Amino acid sequence: MIQNIPEITLNDGLTLPAIGLGTYKLNGASGVQAIVSALDAGYRLLDSAFNYENEGAVGEAIRRSSVPREQIRVTSKLPGRHHAYKQALQTIQESLYRSGLDYYDLYLIHWPNPSKDLYVEAWSALIDAQKWGLIRSIGVSNFLPEHLDRLIKETGVTPSVNQVELHPYFSQEEQRAYHQEHGIVTESWSPLGRASRLLEDPVIQKIARDRKKTVSQIILRWHIQLGALPLPKSSSPSRQIENLSVFEFSLSDEEMQAISALSRPDGRLYDQDPAVYEEF
């Protein structure tokens, strides 16, 4: 089943489909099977990371699927322990060896880890890896405006994407406004709130009933109308199709506002504020 998915153009000209597949926890043979099923369903953007230990599964799924490599956008991310310039370049190369791919379409710095103060160095490595053709587009994840300001000021290169925690309980209004002002595309991680109590929220459940859609479809449609690119993860072929089927209806302004009103300043799922939370 192939869906008609709109495309978004990044600041360097690369296009991404307006929704992608999260792959955290899709590992090994069952992970390969789930990713092949997603490609069959019509997903053309895959989000992985060095630290998910599934770049191999992503590469294998691409080789097993009937979709040509050039039609797929593949993302991976640089872990915090390898921000130093030389290590960052070697890690990008290792990411490619693990996946068996010749290039990544998008490569992100996974977390800024500000106490280590090496993210500008890591960014210089991504800039060079892009020049050498290892990566088509370069971006970041979990960067606050203060971190983005430094990258732009010190290197002159603006990330194409910032992938941040975003769901109705944490709508990232200010962060999204910064991105819009700087031409950075917002990708949403944990767009379904990792299937937590968000899926039981009465406000969203009512809209879903009114619209004859599922709660997940309403949430994903909310992301799309905000202008964010959601990356829902599902291992189930039917839920993968359900999550893709969000382009043939739209939410009213009132419905959008009702969902956005659920956001809270402390709405992060795991208290992962990039100003203080670090991952290696």
Ligand X SMILES: NC(=O)c1ccc[n+]([C@@H]2O[C@H](COP(=O)([O-])OP(=O)(O)OC[C@H]3O[C@@H](n4cnc5c(N)ncnc54)[C@H](OP(=O)(O)O)[C@@H]3O)[C@@H](O)[C@H]2O)c1
CB of 125 to ligand X, least distance (A): 18
113 binds ligand X (CB under 6 A): no
| DSSP one-letter string for 65-130 | SSS-GGG-EEEEEE-GGG-SHHHHHHHHHHHHHHHT-S-EEEEEES---TTT--HHHHHHHHHHHH
**SS3 category, 12:** coil
Concerning whether 52 is annotated as a catalytic residue, the answer is yes
Nearest to 130 by CA among 155, 166, 100: 155
Span interacting with ligand X, options 147-155, 173-181, 238-246, 250-258, rule CB under 6 A: 238-246
Binding mask 21-40 for ligand X (x = CB under 6 A): -xxx----------------
Q: Which of 43, 52, 107, 169 is an active site residue?
A: 52
147 binds ligand X (CB under 6 A): no
State the number of binding residues for ligand X (CB under 6 A).
Answer: 27
From CA 67, how far away is CA 44, in angstroms rounded? 9
223 binds ligand X (CB under 6 A): no
Binding mask 167-206 for ligand X (x = CB under 6 A): ----------------------xxxxxxx---x-------
Task: State both tokens at 108.
Answer: 């992100």
- C-beta separation of 240 from 234 below 8 A: yes
From CA 71, how far away is CA 110, in angstroms rounded? 24
- Which residues contact ligand X by CB under 6 A? 22-24, 47, 110, 141-142, 163, 189-195, 199, 214, 216, 231-236, 239, 242-243
